[in-house]
Structure 1
Amino acid sequence: MCLPTGMESEDDAILRLRSRAIPTMPTFPDLKSSLDGELSPGKGQQSSEDNHITSNGRIEVEHVISKKLQLKKKAEYLKSDLMRQFDTQVNDFMDSLIEESTSLEPAPVPAVFSPPMSDKERSKLRHFRPPHGEGKLFVSRRSLLDELFEVNHIRTIYHMFIALLILFILSTLVVDFIDEGRLVLEFDLLVYAFGQFPLVVCTWICMFLSVLFIPYTLFYLWAQIHSGSHSHLRLYSLLFGTLFLLYQALGLGFLPTYTVVTNSFPPASCFIIILEQVRLMMKAHSFVRENVPRVLAWCKEKNGPGPVVPQVSQYLYFLFAPTLIYRDKYPRNPVIRWGYVVSKLLQVLGCLFYAYYVFVRLCIPQFRSISLQLFDLRAMVLCVFNSILPGVLVLFLGFFAFLHCWLNAFAEMLRFADRMFYKDWWNSTSFANYYRTWNVVVHDWLYYYVYRDFLWISQKRCRPAAMLFVFTVSAVVHEYILAICFGFFYPVLFCLFMCFGMMFNFILHDKRKGPIWNIIMWTSLFLGQGVIICLYSQEWYAQRYCPLKEPSFFELLKPRSWSCERPDDRL
């Protein structure tokens, strides 16, 4: 009996499918036997000829379609299982490949950053983690920009900034040559900004020696009292705690500020003393905060001859280490690359001159003229947008000079191996992530000693209040630094922190992942820098053009730029 052409092609397709070797699937024996049973040779074809051919030679189409659908369903099931197994094998292969690649010693830094740790070395990590609870874990890792600059495409951006600096220098030299008829190589702005430098050095030495001996001595005496059989331990704790707080408030808080204000330090010299004041206060707090629980834990368990009191050398190393979190030991590199240290310090010096030319070419000419005018909306809008470029350049220079070059230089000299001083904040799609990644050193201190301690005191019931408290502390400290260094109170940065910073922190949260949110973040950041440069520069010149003869407390708080009008004859 002759079969129709359509039936012959269908049987041929089935026979060809049967003749192909089906992969062995040990996890699905039923599926394999089912497929083998349905596609066995001869039997399926004979059954089709006997049962599915009508008297007029036509095929029962419905039955064929049903069989094809069942076969397709089983084939899809087999395909999905094969894909799952394939994905699992690929993931396992990639994990093993990554592990093997990390075990290879990289060529650029073969003697600096050690390969992955063995099990014995991993057991030593307890020295880098606080024994009384969870905390920051220090590991050996490079700074992100050091890794990115090994890529030529990224290093080209660095070269572009150097080219821009060369253009700033050339434009300044050409303009001075046209105006003066000679090359003028005077850096009077830098000389003024870093004035009274010997007094700055003496003040810093006094601050450092006090923070080296006083907090350590107070803690050592308190620990010795707790290790003995003294009574009234709470009274002693209250006494030493009060002495430590008085030292923080008066010794580190009031005296350096008084020295800066009474001697009228210029801005850069003020920044050196005030930033060091804040840094040393945070260091002293971290030292006490990390070691007091260890002594209390020993007093409770009595599992040794005495409480663990850090050595003076460990505390001294911590005071210079580029971190605000105390540990008895940190991961260390085996050697010091002095060429790397010199290059980073030269880059800091280059950034300093870069900032000088930014202010000389982009800021000072603009604000000398704009300060002649009374406050009006049009002038303010133009001022903000004209200040965006210098503001962004100052932002980049400050980040690169301090968070990358300065901290890496000291880390290299101290063989400090954990170089994660910042993360990829430029890729942030939310301000919450930006705040966490911009300055990891300060963020760690705020997170462990402000946010987590606030939650511990409130028994984890006030997370929004803890976040608000962190923002408030950060905003107050930033505004305090600017107020002392500039010599006037103008809470622009405080308002940006507490108003727009808090608002953007909740609006641009971590769930925003698209590239549009990164654009919004950069736009907001640029605009904020323009506002800061514009308003603080206007107030700086207004304070000098319109001094108060008999200032009251209210007039000291009122921005002078809102009412200052400088006559033309005073140019």
Structure 2
Amino acid sequence: MLGMTVSCAAAALYRSLPTISDLDGMGGESSNGENPCNGEIHSNGKMEVERLISKKLQLKRKAEHLKFDLMRQFDSQVLEFMDSLIEESASLEPAPVPAVFSPPLSDKERSKLRHLQGSSQGQGKQFVFRRSLLDELFEVNHIRTIYHMFIALLILFILSTLVVDFIDEGRLVLDFDLLVYVFGQFPLVVITWICMFLSVLVVPYSLFHTWASHYHESRHGTLWSLLLGALFLLYQGLGLGFLPTFVVVKNSFPPASCFIIILEQVRLMMKAHSYIRENVPKVLALAKDKSSSSPVSPLIPQLSHYIYFLFAPTLIYRDKYPRNPIIRWSYVASKLLQVLGCLFYAYYVFVRLCIPQFRSISQQLFDLRAMVLCVFNSILPGVLVLFLAFFAFLHCWLNAFAEMLRFADRMFYKDWWNSTSFANYYRTWNVVVHDWLYYYVYCDFLWMSKKRFRAAGMLLVFTMSAVVHEYILAICFGFFYPVLFCLFMCFGMMFNFILHDRRKGPIWNVIMWTALFLGQGVIICLYSQEWYAQRYCPLQEVYATAHLGKTFILGSYFIAFQIKESKYFKRLRCNLRFNQVFTCHVFFVLFLALFPRAAEAAFLELSPPDQPSSRLLRGCN
């Protein structure tokens, strides 16, 4: 059908285009004194040049319109064909592969086993052969030119850095001290990761194997399940949750090293949960069928499947994934080189655009005008960091591992840049994480609530995502500053309902990009200022709770009652960092509920507005 449509459209376009002989015929008819445009006869026997050009332009415009219609029709047909192909491939059932060490099964047992496997996996995510979207777009010259423009911008960053260093130092300075600092203590990072990976390889697999093997034989199946489930949760909380964080905090890992450990911690926890979540229902479903004599061993995944899943670029467990026939090592090398290039790109962005600005601003007194300018000046580096993180991780890094593992489903993201709503942006920006949140948080919540609280399920997804993101940043930066949490829970939730999927048209895409750019500027600005504030203005209080109480109450008291006292305002802003004033409004109510005595003590220490307490005004010197 697709080929017939394209052929018919091409034939129509070919028939409608004028040929050279047709145009020459126009001139020939004009030479006989006939004007095809208006029937006038000219004395020289020729058509006027202007009218001939006008006729040719009309024919050209007609050809362009036909070309546009052809491309639009072709594009729609391709999309329909791909959708139907995905649906047909998802409905295909793979041929049963008997286990190596399992006894032969009867036809009835095989059909029962296929039903059990389909009940847990058939309704979930379907993995099919798909290329990454950017790999397809880069085959178009116009899109590849944008990629070349980013490379040219990197070259300009490098040249500007070299020229400035040569002018300042009189020589070329090629030391990458920032990269050396952020990736410090790398041997300890590798050791920590190996311990994490080995624990995930042994503990979840052993617990599930033990539970599944003895669940049918045990007389107390519920108690047995609760015991091993509690052990798994204990391992998730202590083995993967607490110990890696303790190692990171205890050894004061620099930011990039922290990101490696904490991101791997979160990834392995999500993979372990997916492995248990996808395999437990099959064993439970087999146990409910009292008449079934099917063995449990085929339901226990092989260790090789689990190891493959731990390295595969997906968070949804399956016993088998679609695989490519060969490994293109040149493709792997190009993607890894692009990751390295993005790393140096980010280095020059911070060196040229971020560090000089925030190093000087952080040593100045807080000023609203300077703060607003700082936010807008941070939009460019924030957007570049956003693009680099997306391209380096979601495209290059995941595609490199997918190619090495012959993993065929490369839909790690969708066309999020075309989103006209934040709801669609959240679904298409990071498909890998979105699938995990959708199937294991949202869908499971709807299943437990019998599909009665969809809004609560959405709120749960946003809350979990915001908490995990804020946890990662707090551990990696070494301070708790909930800017990202507030953006997720406040503006993210608000935009999710305001800019919903019914919003169509280019203007909504512009609004989405504007809000995204502004949010990146706020994140880069506030976190960078707090980073330097922690270095130049460290907290000197012995008791952190008392200091937080004074900060929260003083900030709220100041904003609520003293905003009109300009003299008092100036004295306060000279001694309170902006991030403390910002934080106190977000968590003021929570603090009053958790620390009432500290709040009362802070209130007692407050002096009248005309005579502020010296103890509370003792800020950073």
Normalising by the residue count of structure 1, what TM-score does the alignment of the two structures yield?
0.77
Whole-Å separation in 1 of the counterparts to 2:75 and 2:464 = 43
> Given the superposition, is the C-alpha separation of residues 411 and 240 from structure 1 closer, same or farther in structure 2, using an over 3 Å criterion?
same
Residue of structure 2 aligned with 1:367, choices 358, 368, 379: 358
Are 1:330 and 1:416, in contact at CA under 8 Å, matched by a contact in 2?
yes
String of CA shifts for 1:308-366, please: whole Å, max 9, x gaps.
Answer: 10011000000000000000000000000000000000000000000000000000000
Match of 1:243?
231
Whole-Å separation in 2 of the counterparts to 1:251 and 1:362 = 40
Whole-Å separation in 2 of the counterparts to 1:394 and 1:148 = 21
Aligned: 1:181 with 2:170: yes
Q: Which moves more between the two structures, 366-375 or 126-135? A: 126-135
Whole-Å separation in 1 of the counterparts to 2:75 and 2:186 = 55
Whole-Å separation in 2 of the counterparts to 1:245 and 1:397 = 35
Aligned: 1:525 with 2:507: no
Tell me the CA shift for residue 547 of structure 1: 1.4
Whole-Å separation in 2 of the counterparts to 1:533 and 1:95 = 39
Are 1:538 and 1:561, in contact at CA under 8 Å, matched by a contact in 2?
no
Residue of structure 1 aligned with 2:157, choices 151, 168, 189: 168
Whole-Å separation in 2 of the counterparts to 1:515 and 1:117 = 30
Are 2:212 and 2:296, in contact at CA under 8 Å, matched by a contact in 1?
no
Match of 2:500?
509
Residue of structure 2 aligned with 1:296, choices 273, 281, 284: 284
Match of 2:275?
287
Whole-Å separation in 1 of the counterparts to 2:92 and 2:81 = 19
Whole-Å separation in 2 of the counterparts to 1:422 and 1:119 = 20
Match of 1:220?
209
Whole-Å separation in 1 of the counterparts to 2:79 and 2:349 = 46
> Given the superposition, is the C-alpha separation of residues 381 and 339 from structure 1 closer, same or farther in structure 2, using an over 3 Å criterion?
same
Match of 1:72?
none
> Given the superposition, is the C-alpha separation of residues 121 and 414 from structure 1 closer, same or farther in structure 2, using an over 3 Å criterion?
farther
Aligned to 1:536, what secondary structure does the other structure show? helix
Match of 2:529?
538
Match of 1:12?
none
Matching residue's letter, 2:207:
L
Write out aligned runs for 1:306-325 (5 A): 306-307=296-297, 308-325=299-316
Aligned: 1:157 with 2:127: no
Aligned to 1:123, what secondary structure does the other structure show? coil
> Given the superposition, is the C-alpha separation of residues 100 and 261 from structure 1 closer, same or farther in structure 2, using an over 3 Å criterion?
closer
Aligned: 1:124 with 2:94: yes
Are 2:131 and 2:409, in contact at CA under 8 Å, matched by a contact in 1?
yes
Match of 2:320?
329
> Given the superposition, is the C-alpha separation of residues 295 and 364 from structure 1 closer, same or farther in structure 2, using an over 3 Å criterion?
same
String of CA shifts for 1:445-492, please: whole Å, max 9, x gaps.
Answer: 000000001111111000000000000000000000000000000000
> Given the superposition, is the C-alpha separation of residues 355 and 125 from structure 1 closer, same or farther in structure 2, using an over 3 Å criterion?
farther
Write out aligned runs for 1:264-413 (5 A): 264-301=252-289, 302=292, 304-307=294-297, 308-413=299-404
Aligned to 1:131, what secondary structure does the other structure show? helix
Tell me the CA shift for residue 376 of structure 1: 2.2
Write out aligned runs for 1:50-65 (5 A): none
Whole-Å separation in 2 of the counterparts to 1:194 and 1:535 = 23
Aligned to 1:332, what secondary structure does the other structure show? coil
Match of 1:440?
431
Matching residue's letter, 1:221:
T
Tell me the CA shift for residue 123 of structure 1: 2.3
Are 1:371 and 1:566, in contact at CA under 8 Å, matched by a contact in 2?
no
> Given the superposition, is the C-alpha separation of residues 316 and 550 from structure 1 closer, same or farther in structure 2, using an over 3 Å criterion?
same
Match of 1:210?
199
Matching residue's letter, 2:452:
R
Whole-Å separation in 1 of the counterparts to 2:375 and 2:415 = 27
Tell me the CA shift for residue 436 of structure 1: 0.1
> Given the superposition, is the C-alpha separation of residues 546 and 130 from structure 1 closer, same or farther in structure 2, using an over 3 Å criterion?
farther
> Given the superposition, is the C-alpha separation of residues 354 and 130 from structure 1 closer, same or farther in structure 2, using an over 3 Å criterion?
farther
> Given the superposition, is the C-alpha separation of residues 157 and 441 from structure 1 closer, same or farther in structure 2, using an over 3 Å criterion?
same
Aligned to 1:395, what secondary structure does the other structure show? helix
Match of 1:197?
186
Are 1:489 and 1:556, in contact at CA under 8 Å, matched by a contact in 2?
no
String of CA shifts for 1:62-111, please: whole Å, max 9, x gaps.
Answer: xxxxxxxxxxxxxxxxxxxxxxxxxxxx9xx9899869998xxxxxxxxx
Whole-Å separation in 1 of the counterparts to 2:206 and 2:465 = 29
Whole-Å separation in 2 of the counterparts to 1:333 and 1:440 = 21
Match of 1:477?
468
Tell me the CA shift for residue 533 of structure 1: 0.1
String of CA shifts for 1:257-286, please: whole Å, max 9, x gaps.
Answer: 000000000000000000000000000000
Whole-Å separation in 1 of the counterparts to 2:324 and 2:470 = 37
Match of 2:570?
none
Q: Which moves more between the two structures, 546-555 or 486-495? A: 546-555
Are 1:332 and 1:416, in contact at CA under 8 Å, matched by a contact in 2?
yes
Whole-Å separation in 1 of the counterparts to 2:79 and 2:414 = 23
**Could you tell me the percent identity over the aligned residues?**
78
Are 1:373 and 1:566, in contact at CA under 8 Å, matched by a contact in 2?
no
> Given the superposition, is the C-alpha separation of residues 118 and 377 from structure 1 closer, same or farther in structure 2, using an over 3 Å criterion?
closer
Q: Name structure 2 gaps, 5 residues minimum.
A: 1-69, 98-113, 552-575, 581-617
Aligned: 1:428 with 2:419: yes
Q: Name the larger-Rg structure.
A: 1
Aligned to 1:417, what secondary structure does the other structure show? coil
Are 2:271 and 2:315, in contact at CA under 8 Å, matched by a contact in 1?
yes
Whole-Å separation in 2 of the counterparts to 1:415 and 1:276 = 22
Are 2:86 and 2:128, in contact at CA under 8 Å, matched by a contact in 1?
no
Whole-Å separation in 2 of the counterparts to 1:362 and 1:99 = 41
Matching residue's letter, 1:153:
H
Indicate the structure whose relative CO is greater, using CA pairs within 8 Å and at least 6 residues apart.
1
Q: Name structure 1 gaps, 5 residues minimum.
A: 1-89, 103-114
Q: Which moves more between the two structures, 159-168 or 373-382? A: 373-382
Whole-Å separation in 2 of the counterparts to 1:324 and 1:313 = 17
String of CA shifts for 1:30-61, please: whole Å, max 9, x gaps.
Answer: xxxxxxxxxxxxxxxxxxxxxxxxxxxxxxxx
Are 1:375 and 1:562, in contact at CA under 8 Å, matched by a contact in 2?
no
Whole-Å separation in 2 of the counterparts to 1:234 and 1:520 = 52
Are 1:374 and 1:562, in contact at CA under 8 Å, matched by a contact in 2?
no
Whole-Å separation in 2 of the counterparts to 1:347 and 1:515 = 31
> Given the superposition, is the C-alpha separation of residues 126 and 451 from structure 1 closer, same or farther in structure 2, using an over 3 Å criterion?
farther
Matching residue's letter, 1:286:
S
> Given the superposition, is the C-alpha separation of residues 275 and 119 from structure 1 closer, same or farther in structure 2, using an over 3 Å criterion?
closer
Tell me the CA shift for residue 119 of structure 1: 8.6
Q: Which moves more between the two structures, 372-381 or 402-411? A: 372-381
> Given the superposition, is the C-alpha separation of residues 350 and 119 from structure 1 closer, same or farther in structure 2, using an over 3 Å criterion?
closer
Are 1:375 and 1:561, in contact at CA under 8 Å, matched by a contact in 2?
yes
Tell me the CA shift for residue 373 of structure 1: 1.4
